[in-house]
Amino acid sequence: MRRVTIYDTLSRESRLFVPRFPPRVGMFVCGLTPYDEAHIGHARVAVVFDVVARALTRWGYRLFYIQNVTNLDDKLLRRAGELGIQGRSKMSRDELEQAVADASGTRRRKAS
Write down how long the chain is. 112
The one-letter amino acid at 79:
R
Q: Is 19 in contact with 61 (CB distance < 8 Å)?
A: yes
- Maximum average pLDDT range among 19-28, 61-70, 72-81, 90-99: 19-28
What average pLDDT does the segment 47-76 reach?
A: 86
Phi and psi dihedrals of 18, rounded to 5?
-130, 110
Q: How far apart are CA 99 and CA 95, in angstroms?
A: 6
Q: How far apart are CA 48 and CA 65, in angstroms?
A: 13
Per-residue pLDDT reduced to its tens digit, 18-51: 999 999 999 998 877 666 667 787 788 888 999 9
* Kind and range of the H or E run holding 29: strand 24-29
More confident residue, 112 or 32: 32
Whether 86 shows a pLDDT value over 80: the answer reads no
User: Model pTM?
Assistant: 0.63
